[in-house]
Structure 1
Amino acid sequence: MDKRDRAELFRKRLLEAMAHKDMSRSGLSRATRVDRSTIGQLLKDDHPRLPNAQLAADIADALSVSTDWLLGLTHRPETPGDIVAAALSLSPAERTSADEKILEWHQEAAGYKIRHVPASLPDVLKTKRMSDWEYASFPEHRLPEAFKATQDQFNWLTSGVSDYEIALPIHEIEACAAGTAYYKGVDKDIRDEQLRFIADQCEQLFPRLRIFLFDAHRVYSAPVTVFGPSLAVIYVGQCYLAFRELERVKSLSSHFDWLVREAVVDARNVPEFIRALAA
């Protein structure tokens, strides 16, 4: 970039940052410990000047923007540390689906496809009796809250605002049908009701809802949800790892597409497969 063009861009971005920070020329001169006339020279309409490295850094620090942005080297005004923090963040996770953050992320992704690999059966498709069994160890007053959160997610699903694709290990459905592993001790009628509900919703909501069953002996996935093109979340137990950097979101979207391609039961055949297991 020509030096004169860079100086003009610096002047415009400096004015923009000062307006955003509601900082006057006098305030900026005090914050950077230079004469007010020095700030004035940087803001002159005709023949704007570029600051030296020390003053550029002090101005960026005072206005909470990056020096690179002021100098036209990037289009993002945040400091590098803020960019990294925004690209990857940690959010506390509830054990139950009663997590306001989950619904916020759903609303943020309105109009986009949601891709989901659940930790067990999908919370959005859990019956009340299955939820009661699963969260029986929680304080009793939390159970209605957890089920309401599940209903809110289900209402979001049936509203048609976003398409839902769910990739689920086939052993999760088989264990629920047999009452083994995670589902050991669950009454058979609760398990049968749960499986019938999933099968029914797969039929009624197709193609807005598509479930693919993959073989965990061949492919593997941690619990992950991709909310449209701008957010991907990995569930690790007590917290979520939330990625907002475009390339990371694309990578996790590609990972989900891989699970779909490797599915051993396609979305169209899932209802029939589940009913056969339940029978």
Structure 2
Amino acid sequence: MNKLERAALFRDRVIERLNATEVTRSQLSRDAGIDRSTVAQILNGEDARLPNAHIAAEFAAALGVSADWLLGLSDRSERAAQLLSAGLNFADAQRTPADEQLIAWHREAAGHKIRAVPTTLPDILKTSAMLNWEYALFQDKTPEQANAAMRDTADWLQAPGSDYEICVPIETVKSLARGEGYFEGIPEEVRVEQIRHMAQQCGDLYPSVRLYLFSSRKVHSAPLMIFGPLIAAVYVGQFYMVFRERKQVQGLTRHFDELVRASSVDARSAPEVIRSFL
């Protein structure tokens, strides 16, 4: 954007804000402490005038917007504190597949690609036996509710246009096969069934669902979900850190895409590799 284009954009956005708030130019002059003739020079005529930093800041303060937005340096009109509040917030996390918040985000992002790095295994690829074992200790959600939520999700995955990408550390699947770490205490028959089911689902649901296995010795990721370009949620235990600002969502999307590129097992090979751990 050259100087004349930026000046024209500044003028147009000031006028847009004046119209939206029904503030007069005289009132803007008083509130900004800027001479009315200067205001007229900036806002009148075809030859737009680019203001100096002081005038831009005073206009922004008087109009309740950010100077960056007036100057075309941002697509968001909110001030910095407002942007932080709007772009980042916290949501309680139940860490169950019947989590109403996750279901609401899925609905909001209908038609967009979903990206996920789960805490352990993808809930949408778990067997009923695994869900029963894993969620038996939750008091707010029963295994029956978890299974019902998974059936609903399975129906959604069968719908035309579904697009779900998942990245899982290959060490997680190996730990499942051995009954180690998080998976210690799970009966062997449940673990075997889970591995076979996950491999089968990865094949049957491809390409709507694509599972990639990466080595956590090479790359690392916190658990997260990205709902198209709209929402990114990082799971930190008791709550989600929720990002809605475009650049923040794009940044986490680039992180996820790097996990895909760094994966040692691609989505086509995942079923065979998962079965090989039996």
Cα-to-partner distance string for 1:106-156 (whole Å, 9 max, x where unaligned): 233333322211110001112222111111112276433333333333332
Q: Distance in 2 between matches of 1:217 and 1:161?
A: 34
Tell me if the contact between 1:109 and 1:162 (Cα under 8 Å) persists in the aligned partners: no
Q: Distance in 2 between matches of 1:157 and 1:214?
A: 23
Partner of 1:159: 159
Partner of 1:174: 174
Q: Distance in 1 between matches of 2:72 and 2:260?
A: 42
Q: What SS does the aligned partner of 1:254 have?
A: helix
Partner of 2:191: 191
Equivalent residues in 2 for 1:210-249 (5 A)?
Answer: 210-249=210-249
Partner of 2:263: 263
Cα-to-partner distance string for 1:5-34 (whole Å, 9 max, x where unaligned): 96x97786567546656x687xx89xx6x9
Partner of 1:252: 252
With over 3 angstroms needed to count, the CA separation of the structure-2 counterparts of 1:258 and 1:13, relative to structure 1, is closer
Amino acid at match of 1:91: A
Normalised by the size of structure 1, how large is the TM-score?
0.75
Answer with 135-144 or 85-94: which moved more.
135-144
Q: Distance in 2 between matches of 1:256 and 1:239?
A: 20
Tell me if the contact between 2:161 and 2:208 (Cα under 8 Å) persists in the aligned partners: no
Answer with 216-225 or 73-82: which moved more.
73-82
Tell me if the contact between 1:110 and 1:161 (Cα under 8 Å) persists in the aligned partners: no
- 2:199 corresponds to 1:208: no
CA RMSD after TM alignment: 4.0
Q: Distance in 1 between matches of 2:247 and 2:68?
A: 21
Q: Distance in 1 between matches of 2:209 and 2:56?
A: 53
Q: Distance in 2 between matches of 1:199 and 1:188?
A: 17
Unaligned runs of 5+ in 2: 34-39, 47-52
Cα-to-partner distance string for 1:21-54 (whole Å, 9 max, x where unaligned): 6x687xx89xx6x9xxxxxx99x9999xxxxx99
With over 3 angstroms needed to count, the CA separation of the structure-2 counterparts of 1:161 and 1:70, relative to structure 1, is same
- 2:87 corresponds to 1:99: no
Q: Distance in 2 between matches of 1:203 and 1:249?
A: 29
Q: What SS does the aligned partner of 1:89 have?
A: strand
Q: Distance in 2 between matches of 1:256 and 1:71?
A: 32
Q: Distance in 1 between matches of 2:93 and 2:232?
A: 15
Amino acid at match of 1:184: E
Q: What SS does the aligned partner of 1:77 have?
A: coil
Q: Distance in 2 between matches of 1:110 and 1:92?
A: 22
Amino acid at match of 1:220: H
Q: Distance in 2 between matches of 1:149 and 1:236?
A: 22
Deviation at 1:199, TM superposition (A): 1.1
Deviation at 1:66, TM superposition (A): 3.7
Answer with 227-236 or 142-151: which moved more.
142-151
With over 3 angstroms needed to count, the CA separation of the structure-2 counterparts of 1:117 and 1:46, relative to structure 1, is closer
Give the share of equivalent positions with the same residue, in percent: 44
Normalised by the size of structure 2, how large is the TM-score?
0.75
Q: What SS does the aligned partner of 2:226 have?
A: strand
Q: What SS does the aligned partner of 1:267 have?
A: coil
Q: What SS does the aligned partner of 1:139 have?
A: coil
Q: Distance in 2 between matches of 1:74 and 1:218?
A: 35
Partner of 2:36: none
Deviation at 1:92, TM superposition (A): 1.7
Unaligned runs of 5+ in 1: 35-40, 48-52
Tell me if the contact between 1:103 and 1:153 (Cα under 8 Å) persists in the aligned partners: no
